[in-house]
Structures are given as structure tokens and as C-alpha cells.
């Protein structure tokens, strides 16, 4: 049996993956000039931070069977995948990084670290503080989109002496359905958004949603920018009734001059949720396991579209 052809976005995939599974011929592709094996490639891992060409090339791969993403979100790739191609996401790879960032955004907002950074830049030590910082202890955190990342976030919150409310699309043991949000939102001091971007979740956090949040509540979005209605959020931030910490925005990247930059009570992080040292070893384990499964004929994991393999 001839070796299978895979395209991987690492120049030294053997070192990155900790050894390549047997049965593969591997070419490097992260955008730009395409390898000569374009017509033979069956298993393709697009570059994590690649441009549109790393997805446009998919339409030119006649032998393609599997696309393995390095992201949990897959809406950006699904429309480019032919009906017979299996699309797999990177569920589990970003759990640690994204959960850590969510905690960091909460703590930075509550302890007003942006103010401390601004004071440091101008070498100012305040003589007194006009108000006491908030603490995460004794607060209620609502996790909207409770899945693998939500569970990872809850584990990290467990030492902060706070209550966690779990919400997902459907009810299950210990998890409320999204239909219960009108009753749950007024209880939450912090709302962390972790939902995927789908037609159902687009602008889910709208004016009505925000109006139900309690006075002084913090909205943390580490999901996708389109889940939050930006105009509605700006209106609420303008009243200074609530605050926000955003790893993602709509539009994105956020252009210079956009009113979100100067809105009161908002902390903006430029979509760095998955970008930490925790990413590489976890994506390497996933890709190596998927290659081994594909070569041996075992079912792939994390299939989000197309036929199971």
C-alpha cells in the first residue's frame, strides 16, 4: 500500500509532533507556494494563523479526505469544505489557554489593573484610592456555553470562593438551558461568553440580554465577536451600568477610531485566547493522534462536518 499524503503547517513536523506516524508522506504548507503533491493530499492541517489562501487551496485538492483544524471554531472553514470531506475541529486544544485568559480578564477588570498600568507609564503612585477594588470571592459567575472550555474555566475558578452557574443550549445534569437566561442573568456578577459562532448565537448578547444583567455586572467575551451586539454593548457601556472585558470584537480586528476603544469600563485584548505556551503541545498531541487514527482506519475524533472517518 502506498503512503498517504498529508500537508502539515510545521517545517519540521517530526520534531513538532514528537515523531510522525508511519504510512505518511508529508509536505510543508502554511500558505504561499503550493507543494507539487496538491493532487494527492488526503489529510490537511491548515496553518493556525494563515491567511485566506490556506483555506482557498482546499477547493483544489481532488483527493482530500480530512481537514483537521487547529481551532475550536470551524465556521470560517465549513463553507470551503466539499460534501465528501471530513472536517475536524481542535476541541480541547484551547481549553487551558482560554480558561486562563477568562480568569485573567475577570481579575484584571475587578482589580483595575489597566489603571495601574497607566499610572506606571506616567510614574504616578496614587496618594489614596477613591474606592475599594472588587473581589472575585463571594461573586456569582455565569458561564454561557458550558462545554469543555467552560469546565476548564470552572476548575480554575474553584479556588476563588465564587459560585458558578452553568448554561448551555440544552439542559443536562447541573447545566441550565439558554431558555432560562432571563431568570439567571440578574443573579450573575460575571457573565463569561463561551458559545460557538452559529446562526443561533449571532448577536445572542443583545440589548435585552444586557438589560437583564445586574447593575455593576461584568461581561467577558472569549468566544466570538459576533455573539455580542456591539451597538447594544456600547449603549450599555455608555451608561456605565455594566463593564466588559473582550478578547474578541465585532468588527475584528477592531479598527482605529472605533467607539469601543474609548468606551468607558471596557478592557480589550486583541483575540489572544488560544495563543499561549499551552497551545503547541496540545495541538501536537491531537494532530498526531488523528494521523494515527486515519492511517489505521480508526474513527476520527472532533468531527464537526462531513462523513465520519
154 to each of 75, 102, 198, how far by Cα in Å? 26, 10, 24
For 34-67, the DSSP string reads PPGGGGT--EE---TT--THHHHGGGG-TT--EE
Active-site residue, 76 included: no
Place of cell 504561499: 32
Query: What spatial distance separates the first Cα and last Cα of the chain, rounded to whole Å?
Result: 19
Among 203, 212, 241, 271, the one annotated catalytic? 271
Among 60, 183, 252, 298, the one annotated catalytic? 252
Query: Sign of dihedral through CA atoms 290, 294, 299, 304?
Result: positive
What is d(CA 290, CA 206) in angstroms, rounded to the nearest whole number? 38
Among 91, 94, 176, 224, the one annotated catalytic? 224
What is d(CA 290, CA 15) in angstroms, rounded to the nearest whole number? 17
Active-site residue, 252 included: yes
Active-site residue, 94 included: no
CA 198 to chain centre: 13
Q: At what angle do helices 113-121 and 95-110 cross, to 10 degrees?
A: 70
168 to each of 158, 173, 178, 209, 249, how far by Cα in Å? 19, 11, 6, 15, 22
Tell me the catalytic residues.
Answer: 224, 252, 271
Amino acid at each position: 500500500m502506498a503512503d498517504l499524503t498529508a500537508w502539515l503547517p510545521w517545517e519540521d513536523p517530526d520534531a513538532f509532533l514528537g515523531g510522525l506516524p508511519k504510512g505518511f508522506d508529508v509536505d510543508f504548507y502554511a500558505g504561499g507556494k503550493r507543494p507539487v503533491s496538491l493532487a494527492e493530499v488526503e489529510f490537511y492541517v491548515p496553518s493556525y494563523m494563515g491567511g485566506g489562501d490556506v483555506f482557498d487551496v482546499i477547493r483544489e485538492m481532488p483527493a482530500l479526505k480530512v481537514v483537521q483544524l487547529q481551532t475550536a471554531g470551524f465556521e470560517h472553514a465549513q463553507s470551503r469544505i466539499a460534501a465528501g470531506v471530513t472536517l475536524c475541529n481542535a476541541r480541547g486544544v484551547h481549553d487551558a489557554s482560554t480558561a486562563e485568559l477568562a480568569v485573567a480578564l475577570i481579575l484584571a477588570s475587578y482589580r483595575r489593573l489597566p489603571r495601574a498600568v497607566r499610572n506606571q507609564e506616567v510614574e504616578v503612585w496614587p496618594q489614596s484610592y477613591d474606592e475599594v477594588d472588587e473581589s472575585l470571592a463571594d461573586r456569582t459567575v455565569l458561564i454561557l456555553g458550558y462545554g469543555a472550555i467552560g469546565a476548564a474555566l470552572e476548575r480554575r475558578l474553584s479556588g476563588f470562593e465564587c459560585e458558578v452557574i452553568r448554561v448551555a443550549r440544552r439542559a443536562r445534569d447541573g447545566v441550565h438551558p439558554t431558555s432560562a437566561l432571563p431568570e439567571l442573568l440578574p443573579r450573575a456578577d460575571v457573565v463569561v461568553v463561551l458559545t460557538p459562532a452559529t446562526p443561533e448565537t449571532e448577536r445572542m448578547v443583545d440589548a435585552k440580554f444586557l438589560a437583564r444583567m445586574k447593575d455593576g455586572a461584568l461581561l467577558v467575551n472569549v468566544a466570538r465577536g459576533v455573539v455580542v451586539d456591539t451597538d447594544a454593548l456600547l449603549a450599555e457601556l455608555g451608561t456605565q451600568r455594566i463593564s466588559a472585558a473582550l478578547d474578541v470584537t465585532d468588527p475584528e480586528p477592531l479598527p482605529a477610531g472605533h467607539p469601543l476603544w474609548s468606551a468607558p469600563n471596557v478592557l480589550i485584548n486583541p483575540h489572544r485566547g488560544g495563543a499561549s505556551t499551552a497551545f503547541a503541545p496540545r495541538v501536537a498531541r491531537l494532530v498526531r493522534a488523528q494521523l494515527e487514527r486515519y492511517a489505521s482506519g480508526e474513527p476520527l475524533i472532533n468531527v464537526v462536518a462531513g462523513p465520519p472517518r
